[in-house]
Amino acid sequence: MDPADLTIAEAGTRLRAGDLTSADLLHAVRRRASMTEAVLHAYLNIDHDGAAAAAAAADEALRRGDDRGPLHGIPVALKDNMVTRGLETTCSSRILAGYRPPYDATVVERLRAAGAVVFGKTNLDEFAMGSSTENSAYGPTRNPWDPDRVPGGSSGGSAAAVAVGSAFAALGSDTGGSIRQPAALTGTVGMKPTYGLVSRYGLIAFASSLDQIGPITRSVDDSVTMLAAIAGHDPSDATSYRGGYPDFASSMGDGVAGLRIGVIRELSGEGIAADVSAAFRATVDALVAAGAEVSEVSLPSTEYALSAYYLIAPAECSANLARFDGVRYGPRLPGSSVEEMMAATRADGFGPEVTRRILLGTYALSAGYYDAFYGQAQKVRTLVVEDFRRAYAEVDVLVTPTSPTTAFALGERADDPLAMYLSDICTIPSNLAGDPAISLPCGLDSAGLPIGFQVLAPALGEPVMFRVAKAVEELVGFSARPALASSEGAA
Amino acid sequence: MPVEIDIAKVARLARIGLSPDDLAHHSEQLQVILEHAARVQALPTEGVEPTAHPLPMVNALRSDEVEPTLDRDEVLSQAPDREGPYFRVPPFLED
């Protein structure tokens, strides 16, 4: 077996047995990247020198007996909206072309401290705005299962890299589903932690009250490993959670017998593609057969969650992206006054989707419209939170399909923002609530494309969420690999 | 519900200099999205408190002690234009 196809757990075992070195693992992902990148474009920037030095250091440390744990010596990738000291970080935007941050994001520091090898920075929708990774100023990423289709977004580069084996794991960020939806479309495991569990310091902000960093991996066990490495209070992030942290793996392997699982009525019927619906139902049936108590649960306000999200997220984005003004970093266009310079720089530097969302947010926050749009959306957010609270009084976890469809064709939704926005309808509600959620593969559609199954849990409910995800992983036994990851496809 | 948008004003508030064609295009798309988003107005929310944040937030304070900051030269090295230890910008006050 090519080492690039191993999980983190398998690679770690072979590393400690002396069968493989970190340099071997790095060689394997580099080889895979060199075979697939011309088609995929999962990476914006591969740090060949930095990764080689980190792998050599990891091997040397292991020889000395300095074992940092399960991520020691493992090559991982980072979505290019997490800052890396001295390594170009662009958010897939022209407005940050050439930007070399003067510091590392907290998650990057933590991965390095855990011995992980940072291999490169992955492609994304510009400033993480999108559901297809087509909105990158540096060109789209393609889906390794079918290069004519999108990998989902906005963490499409991270998901494609993990799916194809050019990284053992990657970090993504999830504002409305940007980890889980690409995970679903690429047959990987993507999880969004409880809001505040993972520091956002050094994550270039899109919508601060919704953004969370989380892992994309090839197994549920690896998801836990990555989360354990990056979670924990960070004084540099004022919204970082300060309470006690659960043991994420405490009930892994306990099965689902006796657990109460709710199927969200509003997110599992109308608008879901037939193949997706069938695979979702079959997985729910398997959970019932494994002893779970499954019931249908109604969350009536989820119908309005998408509308509220597309007011709240742009409002926060218009405030956060005000810092990109050509003064402190990035390219600048000339102007005879500061205002002209800023207006010219921003018009040139931002792509159409980012411009659209900044305008939308500016409008929603402007005098005369604030109460009717933004203020009302914040109240709807309360109703969504209350819906979840009521549901979790009756059930332990909720489940839905992750995405209403499997991977769609490149360009198919490019000119229809509303159709694109509907891609995230199943994932957005948990961002509004701040609760954890995970997507994992549950089958293939008739075109051979992966289908995602989503498990949602209440705040800090990661242990029960992982418990159900692990059970689903075992019940489904998903083992298909994308065409581009096979030696023939990759050659 | 029809939504009224003065797109030129919105673009000026956002400090994005757009051509008349771009303004017209964005105005059209914003209209469609806002009409969808305006559905939030259909929900009765009397007495509902707005949620601005998923965590019950309190101030995060640290002790008032001098701590190391980012290196000034490293930060300024990213500026598109600088003069000595300053970011250089076009004039913002008229003569």
d(CA A79, CA A213): 10
Residue B58 confidence (pLDDT) above 80:
no
B5–A363: do the CB atoms touch at under 8 Å? Answer: yes
Residue A420 has a pLDDT of 81
Q: Could you tell me if A372 lies within 8 Å of chain B, comparing CB atoms?
A: yes
Q: Is A154 a catalytic residue?
A: yes
Q: Is A79 a catalytic residue?
A: yes
Residue A491 has a pLDDT of 42
Residue A419 has a pLDDT of 80
Q: Are A137 and A129 in contact (CB under 8 A)?
A: no
Residue B2 has a pLDDT of 64
Return the residue of A nearest to B94 by Cα.
Answer: A337
Nearest Cα to A278, choosing from A401, A124, A131, A421?
A: A401
Q: Could you tell me if A64 lies within 8 Å of chain B, comparing CB atoms?
A: no
- CA B26, distance to chain mean position in Å, is 17
pLDDT in tens, chain A (491 residues): 899 999 999 999 999 999 999 999 999 999 999 999 999 999 999 999 999 999 999 999 999 999 999 999 999 999 999 999 999 999 999 999 999 999 999 999 999 999 999 999 999 999 999 999 999 999 999 999 999 999 999 999 999 999 999 999 999 999 999 999 999 999 999 999 999 999 999 999 999 999 999 999 999 999 999 999 999 999 999 999 998 899 999 999 999 999 999 999 999 888 899 999 999 999 999 999 999 999 999 999 988 999 999 999 999 999 999 999 999 999 999 999 999 999 999 999 999 999 999 999 999 999 899 999 999 999 999 999 999 999 999 999 999 999 999 999 999 988 888 788 888 999 999 999 999 999 999 999 999 999 999 999 999 999 999 999 999 999 999 999 999 886 544 44
Q: Could you tell me if A307 lies within 8 Å of chain B, comparing CB atoms?
A: yes
Return the residue of B nearest to A242 by Cα.
Answer: B60
Q: Are A362 and A411 in contact (CB under 8 A)?
A: no
Nearest Cα to A225, choosing from A271, A169, A268?
A: A169
CB pairs < 8 Å spanning A and B: 180
Exposed / middle / buried, residue A252 (Cβ in 10 Å: 0-12, 13-18, 19+)? middle
User: Residue A42: helix, strand or coil by DSSP?
Assistant: coil
Return the residue of A nearest to B62 by Cα.
Answer: A235
Interhelix angle A106-113/A220-230, nearest 10 degrees: 110
Residue A488 has a pLDDT of 47
Preferred mutation among A240, A380, A431, A432 to probe B, highest tally of B CBs within 10 A: A380
User: Of A22, A173, A178, A430, which residue is the catalytic one?
Assistant: A178
- The bridge status of strand A169-174 relative to strand A212-217 is antiparallel
The whole-angstrom distance between B23's CA and the closest CA on chain A is 10
Residue B95 has a pLDDT of 61
B49–A418: do the CB atoms touch at under 8 Å? Answer: no
The whole-angstrom distance between B59's CA and the closest CA on chain A is 8
A409 φ, ψ (degrees, to nearest 5): -70, 145
**Mean confidence (pLDDT) of chain B:** 91
Residue A418 has a pLDDT of 79
User: Residue A343: helix, strand or coil by DSSP?
Assistant: helix
A359–B16: do the CB atoms touch at under 8 Å? Answer: yes
Q: Which residue among B10, B22, B48 places its CB closest to the CB of A379?
A: B48
The whole-angstrom distance between A328's CA and the closest CA on chain B is 5
User: Of A92, A93, A154, A166, which residue is the catalytic one?
Assistant: A154
| Stated pTM of the model | 0.97
Q: Is A178 a catalytic residue?
A: yes
